[in-house]
Amino acid sequence: MKLDRKFDKIMLLATVLLLSAVLGATLAKNAMVNTYAENESGIYEEQDEYFVTFYDDGQKLTIKTNARTVREALEKANYKINISDRVEPALDTKIDSNNFFINIYRSRPVLVKVGMFEKYLMTASHDARTIAEEAGLTVYDGDEIKVVENGDFLESGVQFAYEIKRNGGRTVTVDTEIPFNEQTVKDYNLAPGQREVRQLGEVGLKTSNYEVLYVDGVEVSRNLISEAVIREPVDRIVAVGASLIERRPLTAGMGVNIYTVNKGSGVVVERRETYYDLDMGIVMNAAARTCGVAPTYTVRKDGAKVDADGYVLVAANLSRYPRCSMVETSLGPGKVYDTGGFASANPEQFDLATDWTNHNGR
């Protein structure tokens, strides 16, 4: 009996150890699987990685990625996109925020019929009119489109056919999307460099009605009969964290802007800002090689010269503010692309590129 009890204790201890190992493995697995989580705040900073959520045929995946465009994000997430698939937003859309969503619509084979005409095609659309137009057909007002089972399914692999019945119509209604704009507003309650989407953008919709002219049964022209905006676009509004120093921005009349900057740990420095007006083409060509940015710049409405991402072009002491680094200026977030003779005597001085002298747009 004593031996049996000793054996029971050993078995109990072994069972406890086994359960502990399984529980530990499960927790470790969950810790690894739940690496990424959706960020619902809508706030993001200029950073190297963003949370991106993919929706693909009902499947959802959220990852953290350093991809800069939708195309690059799809490649990094190992999504294969066929030429007839549809992706929203467009493949070249820039990823610049968390809570970024990418929708993938997979194409499927369909058959379109009108009279004796038949055409097989791959489409990601489920709208009958759109599918007919993708097949190269014009859908006139009054035409009827029915979705029917394809009797040739086993041979063709196409389950559904779209049959168009002509009813003698000679006018065409075309719906066109109206793109939305993006507004940027400053918010001094957000940390500099942070951005918050205050309002999502929505595309508008315009409908146009045309009369179609035929010669020998072939369409030769369309005359606009009427046009109306069905839905106005809604602007996307993004709040950008602005430094308090932007309340007193540098101006051409000011010449020199002097203010203090708290660099943390009790360190406060005096910042001098000046401006210069030179062609920045050579500087930005060098920046393209060094910083990986576009080799172009534009002149903002207030005369500040900014890169393709909207950063003010800044000259600074490169030992304190390395080339390509992001800095705060009174004209908004800037990036250091240049330097000058002033930098050794005034290592905290920034020289901001502007068009305030030449006024030539360069």
Q: List the beta bridge partners of residue 212.
A: 222
221 in the same domain as 180:
yes
349 in the same domain as 254:
yes
Single residue among 105, 137, 157 that ends a domain in this structure: 105
The confidence score (pLDDT) of residue 149 equals: 81
Single residue among 224, 239, 254 that ends a domain in this structure: 239
Is position 14 within any domain?
no
24-33, 54-63, 166-175: the lowest-pLDDT one: 24-33
For residue 14, is pLDDT > 80? no
Is position 67 within any domain?
yes
Domain that holds residue 47: 43-105
47-61, 301-315, 338-352: the lowest-pLDDT one: 47-61
| pLDDT band, residue 154 (cuts 50/70/90) | low
Is position 23 within any domain?
no
Is position 28 within any domain?
no
Is position 10 within any domain?
no
The confidence score (pLDDT) of residue 234 equals: 94
186 in the same domain as 164:
no
Average pLDDT, the chain: 83
| Phi, psi of 312, rounded to the nearest 5 degrees | -65, 135
Is position 4 within any domain?
no
The confidence score (pLDDT) of residue 343 equals: 93
Mean pLDDT of 267-278: 91
Alpha-carbon separation of residue 10 from 3, 5, 281 (angstroms): 11, 9, 79
Mean pLDDT of 272-286: 96
C-alpha 210/C-alpha 177 separation (Å) is 17
- Supply angle C-alpha 67, 85, 87, rounded to 5: 40
230 in the same domain as 277:
no
For residue 181, is pLDDT > 70? yes
CA dihedral of residues 301, 305, 308, 314 (deg, nearest 10): -140
279 in the same domain as 220:
no
Single residue among 147, 169, 191 that ends a domain in this structure: 169
Alpha-carbon separation of residue 362 from 87, 311, 353 (angstroms): 37, 16, 10
Residue with tokens 């709040």: 239
Whether residue 176 contacts residue 205, with contact meaning beta carbons closer than 8 Å, is answered with yes
332 in the same domain as 252:
yes
263 in the same domain as 233:
no
228 in the same domain as 248:
no
Q: Is the bond preceding 89 in cis, omega lying within 30 degrees of 0?
A: yes
For residue 298, is pLDDT > 70? yes
269 in the same domain as 323:
yes
Mean pLDDT of 349-357: 96
State the total domains in the chain. 4
338 in the same domain as 261:
yes
